[in-house]
Structure 1
Amino acid sequence: MSLQLCDNGMQFFEDKEYMGMEAIIELLTYLAKADEDVNCGRVAPMKDTFDNLRNLMQTDNSNRPWFSNRHEK
């Protein structure tokens, strides 16, 4: 029994099925937002992100005492 039609025309779903539909709607919402991010240029390839991080770690960090270069030899 997944769907019942009552006298007033309202439909009722079992909790499990309703939760599944909520999860699908949530996923579709995230996918729509991600698609919008891509279309608006708010994302970058992962390689670019890691290249930027490597460059930051290789720059002079003497003005940032909290940044440790302990991995450098």
Structure 2
Amino acid sequence: MPELDPTVFAHLQISEVRRRLLKAAVFGKHLTPDQLEHMAEQLAEGLRLYALADTHCIRRHSNSPLRDDSRTQR
């Protein structure tokens, strides 16, 4: 089975958390601390993957490294 693109996996992780929270809200379901902790970990992993993909995208498409322009002004 081919490995998922990191942004696709991130989207799946975040969507799963959203779906579970909406389901709990709609049906008045109480979530245990363990369930909430697991969802928080899924959300954090999804956001980490999005941030990592964004960082790689910026570096890959940039002709020069990111720099602090305040150092070049005199």
TM value normalised by structure 1? 0.45
Q: Which has the larger radius of gyration?
A: 1
Higher RCO (Cα < 8 Å, 6 or more apart)? 2
Where is the strand percentage greater, Structure 1 or Structure 2?
A: 1
TM-score normalised to structure 2 length: 0.45
